[in-house]
Copies of this chain bind each other. A is one copy, B any other.
Amino acid sequence: MKVEIWSDVVCPWCFVGKRQFERALERFDHADELEITWRAYELDPRAPEVREGTYAERIARKYGMEVGAARAAMSRIISVGAEAGIEFKFDSMQPGNTFNAHRLLHYAKTQGRQDAFKERLLHATFFEGQATGTHEVLAQLAVEVGLDVAGVAEVLDSELFGDDVRSDERVAQALGVTGVPFFLIDETYGIPGAQAPDVFLSILERAWGETHRTVQIVGADGQVCDDEACEI
């Protein structure tokens, strides 16, 4: 069964959603039979390689509040993150443009290392303050998760997988996705945002049940012939 997750690298709720989804998978009997694909979504396609200013400053700007108030308002995301086992280090973040990260995530998919690379990118962004919009950092992180040095360089030095990133984003638009994370289960159930593990689990089970149906007898007994004569 297919699971597609639209997500960005510099997206705290995407990180939280990933953990909550993983917690659901721990309790889902068919987790090994899922094909999970990370799909691209750029929160800010016009972002520079490294963005100036802190996360609190961006929140303050977005919601028209003082930076101190923004910091206080971020307590929810921080506490939900902590519950999910994620200790966000917002002040040291150096987020930036994620187009190249998404292209490399597509390359990593072809190498069977997509989830590992996604995880590495999130760690680097939210725990290590690495500038995951830069070629240097991306190349280093990609190799750390086992991707081929030459293969990574070829992607970064070209436009490879750019069409795949755009395609992911067009599909998201067609689905009406305006924020991430967005989970699509079996091309049928769209789940917007980071949800409690129980929510993910129940939808996984519903979708699985519908696509792995066994024969059930429906309708009251109709008339049959059951040997050389028939019901009368």
A230 touches B13 (CB 8 A): yes
Interface residues of A in 205-227 (CB under 8 A from B): 210, 213-227
Contacting residues, chain B, for A188 (C-beta < 8 A) = 213-216
With A11-B225, A176-B217 given, can you name 20 additional A-B contacts, CB distance below 8 Å?
A: A13-B225, A13-B230, A17-B223, A43-B225, A44-B227, A55-B229, A59-B232, A73-B232, A77-B223, A179-B224, A184-B215, A188-B215, A190-B217, A192-B217, A192-B219, A194-B223, A195-B219, A195-B222, A199-B219, A203-B218
A192 to B216, CA, bound (A): 11
Query: Considering only CB atoms and an 8 Å cut-off, how many residues of chain A contact the other chain?
Result: 65
Question: 8 closest Cβ contacts across the A-B interface?
Answer: A193-B222, A179-B224, A179-B226, A62-B229, A44-B228, A195-B222, A11-B225, A193-B224
Contacting residues, chain B, for A82 (C-beta < 8 A) = none
- Minimum CB–CB distance for A168 against chain B, Å: 15
